[in-house]
């Protein structure tokens, strides 16, 4: 059951990223993030009464708020990167950075990486270099040849350019800080820090939407995708929580961190994205780097 829960968490995290990126190609990113995060907030609020009682302290609320700020920014950057870049490149690059951040901060605080961690860091650097390479001609194109299904020609987006590498890196850093902030909360706090995090992120992006007069109206299919992405993301959190309570945390993290594989698969099947051979090599290096870095803590 532990293995099933961990792999299900990985698949649902990847599916949530894919849905968020898909919606962001058809609607304003801030609107997509606000609605999807709001759907996740509603879901976790409904789940709280079904779980055992928890006693969050002041520090749990504070770290939950920090997690909300960093996580919200990370998700927004990720969705934007998935919208303008190649999903099969963006997802593993972000995941690598999200895993690297805790490792690098630990080194800065005095810890020294072992042989496997050093190998993982090296693989991550190679992965980022490879996935950032764009093909110039022929069938080795780094952008999608297949356009998203459109309800009308007037809303058709322009060509997707670039890999969104810069956004991917920034997103990975923010998500890594999100993981660090949540890690500072106490186990006795239950899901309350996550509720605080979602409340902060929703408030932040709702305020931004008001200031910049972002329209929330979007085609019904896109709205469904947006809400579905938020729900799937929260389901992923639940699966990961259950997995971490039934087996070793490090192994649960290792398996869950394979989520870019499902994003890549969905992007290939649904959107029809194609990569150059060296970019596929970069994706492979990224996945190996994730397993190596996180697995080194076992």
Structure tokens that stand for 101 in this block: 């951040």
Q: Where is pLDDT greater, at 253 or 185?
A: 185
Q: Is residue 61 part of a domain?
A: yes
Q: Is residue 22 part of a domain?
A: yes
> Which residue in this structure is represented by tokens 């939950």?
64
CB-facing half-sphere around the CA of 100: CA atoms within 13 A: 26
Q: Which residues are CB-neighbours of 113 under 8 A, at least 6 positions away? A: 103, 107, 121, 296
Q: Is residue 151 part of a domain?
A: no
Task: Give the pLDDT mean for 210-231.
Answer: 93
Q: Is residue 290 part of a domain?
A: yes
Total count of domains within the chain: 1
Query: Does position 40 have pLDDT exceeding 90, yes or no?
Result: yes
Q: Could you tell me the pTM of the whole model?
A: 0.78
Whether the Cβ atoms of residue 195 and residue 44 lie closer than 8 Å to each other: yes
Lowest mean pLDDT among 30-34, 155-159, 277-281: 155-159
d(CA 282, CA 272): 19
Query: Does position 99 have pLDDT exceeding 80, yes or no?
Result: no
Q: Is residue 49 part of a domain?
A: yes
Q: Is residue 264 part of a domain?
A: yes
Q: Is residue 154 part of a domain?
A: no
Q: Which residues are CB-neighbours of 74 under 8 A, at least 6 positions away? A: 98, 171, 172, 173, 174, 175, 177, 178
Nearest to 81 by CA among 28, 16, 24, 130: 24
Domain that holds residue 240: 2-145+161-295
Q: Is residue 276 part of a domain?
A: yes
> Which residue in this structure is represented by tokens 């194609």?
274
| pLDDT confidence tier of residue 230, bands split at 50, 70 and 90 | very high
């Amino acid at each position: 059951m532990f293995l099933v829960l961990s792999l299900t968490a990985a698949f649902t995290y990847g599916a949530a990223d894919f849905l968020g990126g898909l919606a962001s190609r058809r609607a304003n990113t801030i609107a997509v993030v606000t609605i999807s995060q709001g759907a996740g907030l509603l879901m976790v609020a409904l789940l709280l009464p079904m779980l055992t009682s928890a006693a969050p302290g002041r520090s749990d609320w504070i770290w939950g708020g920090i997690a909300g700020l960093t996580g919200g920014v990370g998700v927004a950057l990720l969705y934007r990167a998935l919208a303008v870049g190649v999903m099969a490149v963006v997802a593993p690059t972000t995941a690598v950075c999200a895993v690297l951040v805790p490792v690098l901060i630990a080194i800065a605080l005095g810890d020294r990486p072992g042989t496997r961690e050093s190998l993982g860091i090296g693989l991550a650097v190679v992965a980022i270099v490879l996935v950032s390479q764009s093909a110039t001609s022929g069938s080795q194109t780094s952008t999608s040849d297949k356009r998203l299904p459109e309800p009308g020609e007037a809303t058709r987006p322009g060509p997707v350019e670039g890999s969104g590498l810069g956004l991917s890196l920034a997103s990975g850093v923010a998500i890594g800080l999100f993981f660090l902030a949540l890690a500072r909360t106490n186990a006795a706090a239950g899901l309350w820090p996550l509720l605080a995090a979602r409340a902060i992120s929703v408030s932040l992006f709702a305020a931004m939407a008001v200031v910049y007069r972002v329209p929330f109206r979007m085609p019904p299919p896109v709205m469904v995708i947006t809400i579905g992405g938020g729900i799937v993301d929260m389901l992923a959190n639940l699966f990961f929580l259950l997995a971490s309570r039934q087996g070793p945390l490090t192994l649960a993290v290792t398996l869950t961190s394979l989520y870019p594989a499902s994003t890549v698969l969905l992007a290939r099947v649904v959107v029809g994205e194609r990569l150059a051979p060296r970019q596929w090599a970069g994706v492979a290096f990224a996945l190996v780097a994730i397993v190596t870095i996180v697995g080194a803590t076992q």
